[in-house]
Structures are given as structure tokens and as C-alpha cells.
Amino acid sequence: MARIMDGPTRCHDAMNPQELRGLTGLVALYATRMLGLFMVLPVLALEAEHYRGVSPALVGVALGAYGLTQGLLQIPLGLLSDRVGRRVVIAGGMAVFCAGSVLAAMTESIHGLILGRALQGAGAVASAVMALLADLTTEEHRTRAMAAVGGSIGLAFAAAMVLGPLLAAHWGLAAIFWLTALLAALGIALVVFWIPAPAAPSRLAASESLAVPRLLGRVLSHGQLLRLDFGVFALHLAQMASWVAVPTLLAERHHLPLERHWLFYLAAMGGGFFLMIPLVIHGERRGRLKPVLLFGIAALMAGDGLLAMAGERFFLFAAGALAFFVGFNLLEAVLPSLVSKIAPAGTRGTAMGVFSSSQFLGAFAGGALGGLVAHGSGLEDVFWLAAAVAALWLGVAATMAPPPNWGTVVVDLAEYPAAAAVERLRECCKGVEEITLFPEERLLYLKVDKSRFSREELDALLREGAAGRP
């Protein structure tokens, strides 16, 4: 008999104890890991001047080094977790992350700092974490659980913008890395002693959370997805390049003591967050995500332009930072939603894997290019670089087709003949736009037009076929 599953569910039953343990443990692990990575962003450019061999170019490489290793290893480590076990890969990745943090805390040279940051990124466990979350949660709770992990990243970023400058002002950059190492060790303890082992890997996890090698070609040749991959690359390039310049200008041009930087970041980031909320709601409810996307890119570009032109005018600098964070927060919310809507049926995990790798590679490129520009022509030109990248992205995004009003439905075929199910759906079910079959897992992934698709019709067709089979 075929069984139908789809993304968001109307069921509001409470999670069972194993699901709660898995969710709380993985949210805590992911949030503390991201907190450690984010805390250095607002202070590294200032504090790195105390290291041997430092130059603006190498400061940029140190900022973005974690993105290179994370971007390259994100997909391979996710696939490895499918073979050797999620918890093994997660614990090993956190151990590498801890080792990188210790190296960064102990080093006195900029090259050692770069190596430590690269080691931090080599603990690329995001895909394995999301796959383990899929293994540990039921279909009814999986969407909410993944949203909780996503929300924890935003909270970690906000906390990092406050804690990073305060810790560095009192105890230096090394204190941040020591705290990060401690948080990584706590993460390993969570994996070993708190997060439960799944009874069996979920058949949905590979396609929902992990890249599937045979689908990479399909994702990499999809023009709409490639535009979004370029977009997240450009977004994080602009963000990381800006962190090369903002802390130094705040301290040297606007004479703001390091221990008060957190007030500036909290005001700009908090204001940007609240201003972007109605835009996201409008885009999702009215089906106008493309105009919202274009507005976010324009806000990002305008913010970088204002930062570049501010000079010693603090009000203009603050206005630029606010516009930047309006665009950044808006785009961080809209881009993953667009990937989920546009990805062909059954390719969401693969599409998100390529998307995440593009994000981290953009962070590396932003740090490296921002450092080179700061070294060669000055800090203001770093913002012009970011604005130029945003302008290029605006042109690319303008050529996107508006995202369709599609949803995803998963059909567990159980004992129903797979080939017969595919043929029947193609001929008889209205609103089914794309079908992807995973024969080994006996799963069908359908992209459906919500305005024409009837779940009841699909269920009736499959029941009728199952009853009539020999």
C-alpha cells in the first residue's frame, strides 16, 4: 500500500522523549559551534595586529579560511556519515573543530591563526547534523525541528556580535578561541552522552538532508538553482569582506572603544532584523519572493555604498550598516526558501548541499579579496568591492523566473509497484509537475502545483492501483 507524506503537517502531537533529546542536543551543538565561528568576526581585524607577520591581506585570509575547508568538505562528510554513522562523523568533526580552536588560541603568528581557522572549518558537520535530525524525528515533527536548528543559527549570530567584542576587549582574541574549544568539547560530550543513536537511518534523510551523487549533475545544470548558488556566494563574499573593514573603521575613524562595539552591532543588526520581517511575510504570503529578493540585494548594495562614502560621518556609517543588515537578514531568510521551492523533486538535499558549499566558499573569497583590497588600496574600497559584487548579483537575479507556487509530496510506495505508480501519476493526477523515483528506497518525490493538486485524488489513485494489482 502506498503511504503519502508531505512537508509541513497539520499534526501538533508532542515529540516523544527520544525526539526531544535529539532535537535539544543537536540544536545546542549546532548553535555553540556557530557561536564559536561567529564571535571572531567583529574583532579579528582589530586583534590580529598583535600577531607576527600580519598584513591586511593575511587578516582577510584568516577571516575566511574556515569557509574554504568547510565548503570543500561539507558534501563529502555528509556522504561519509551515511556509511560510517552520523554520530561518528559529528563527534570527529567537533574534535577537529576543537583542535583548530586550540591551535588558534595558542599561536602567535598570523599563519598559525590561518591554519587554526582552516582546521575549524574542516570540522564540517552541518550535513551530518541535519541528516541525524531527520533520522531522529518523525515526519510530523521534522520540518519544525529543522526550523529550530535554522533559528538557532540566527540567535548564535546575534549573541556572537555581543560576546565577541566584550571578550576580546577584556581578555583578547585568544580567549574567544579557548571558549570555542570548550564549547566544541561540550558538543562532543552531547554527541556521546545525550544525543541518542537512531534505531535505523531514515530513508528520507539521504534525499532531504544529504547530497546524492547521482543527482549532482541535475542540480549543477539547473539555471535557476545556479543563480541562487551564485547569490549566496555573493552574499557571504560581501559579508566577510565587510568584516575586514568595519571593526577597524569603527575603532580608528569613529573612535568607538572595542568594549562598546557590541552596542553598534546590536543596534544595526536588531534594526535590520525587525525591518526585514514584514518583507519576508509579504513575499511568502503574496507569492512575491522575487521582488523581495531584488529589494534585499539593492539594500545590501546601498548599505555597502553608504559605508564606503561615510568618511568620518558616523551617522552615515551607521545608516550604511543598518541598510546592510536589512539586506543581509532578508536574503538569509529568502534564499533557502527559494532553493526549497525551485529544486526539482527529490533533489532538495543535493541542492542544499551545493548551496551551502557555495555559501562557505563565498565567505573564503570575501575574506581573501577583502584583505587584498584593504592591503592594496584602502578600507573604503573593500565596501566598493562588496557593492560591485552585489550589483553583479542584482543583474543575475533580475533574469530569474518568479518561483512557482509548488510544494513537495513524498510517496512511500511500500509494496506498490514503482513503475506502475509513476505511469499512473503521469497520466491521471492533476497538478503533478515533476516526479523523481528512488527505486532502492521505494520513494517517489513529487513537485506539485498547489493550485491544482489534490492530495485526496492522489491517495485514491494509489489505493485503487494497489487494490487492482495482481
| C-alpha 304 chain-centroid distance | 22
Q: How far apart are CA 241 and CA 246, in angstroms?
A: 9
Q: How far apart are CA 284 and CA 232, in angstroms?
A: 19
Q: Quick one: pLDDT at residue 153? A: 85
Tell me the mean pLDDT in the region 178-206. Answer: 84
Q: Quick one: pLDDT at residue 9? A: 37
Confidence of residue 466 (pLDDT cuts 50, 70, 90): low
Q: Quick one: pLDDT at residue 422? A: 62
Q: Does the pLDDT at position 470 exceed 50?
A: no
Tell me the mean pLDDT in the region 448-464. Answer: 70
Tell me the mean pLDDT in the region 244-261. Answer: 94
Tell me the mean pLDDT in the region 122-134. Answer: 88
pTM of the model: 0.85
More confident residue, 369 or 289: 369
Q: CB–CB of 321/246 below 8 Å?
A: yes
Q: In the chain, pLDDT over 90 holds for what percent of residues?
A: 55
Q: How far apart are CA 238 and CA 250, in angstroms?
A: 18
Q: Quick one: pLDDT at residue 138? A: 74
Q: How far apart are CA 121 and CA 40, in angstroms?
A: 13
More confident residue, 106 or 147: 106
Tell me the mean pLDDT in the region 238-261. Answer: 94
**Of the ranges 17-21, 126-130, 264-268, which is most confident?**
264-268
The 8-class DSSP code of residue 108 comes to -
Confidence of residue 88 (pLDDT cuts 50, 70, 90): very high
Q: Quick one: pLDDT at residue 420? A: 58
Q: CB–CB of 447/455 below 8 Å?
A: no
Q: How far apart are CA 331 and CA 339, in angstroms?
A: 12
Question: What are the φ/ψ torsions at residue 58 (nearest 5 degrees)?
Answer: -75, -30
Q: Does the pLDDT at position 241 exceed 80?
A: yes
Complete domains list, the chain, with CATH: 1-10+17-206 (1.20.1250.20), 223-403 (1.20.1250.20), 406-468 (3.30.70.100)
Tell me the mean pLDDT in the region 276-296. Answer: 85
The three-state secondary structure class of 253 is: coil
Amino acid at 302: A
Confidence of residue 213 (pLDDT cuts 50, 70, 90): confident
Residue 281: how many other CB atoms lie within 10 Å: 11
Instruction: Look up residue 46 and give its three cell numbers.
Output: 582589530
Q: What is the mean pLDDT of the chain?
A: 86
Strands 443-449 and 3-6: unpaired
What confidence tens digit (pLDDT) does each residue in 132-190 have?
888 888 766 776 777 788 788 888 998 999 999 999 999 999 999 999 999 999 999 99
What confidence tens digit (pLDDT) does each residue in 22-59 have?
889 999 998 989 999 999 999 999 999 889 999 999 99
What confidence tens digit (pLDDT) does each residue in 400-439 have?
988 766 667 777 666 555 555 666 666 666 667 677 766 6
Q: CB–CB of 272/303 below 8 Å?
A: no
Q: Kindly report which listed range (52-66, 179-193, 432-446, 455-469) carries the lowest average pLDDT score.
A: 455-469
Q: How far apart are CA 38 and CA 165, in angstroms?
A: 11
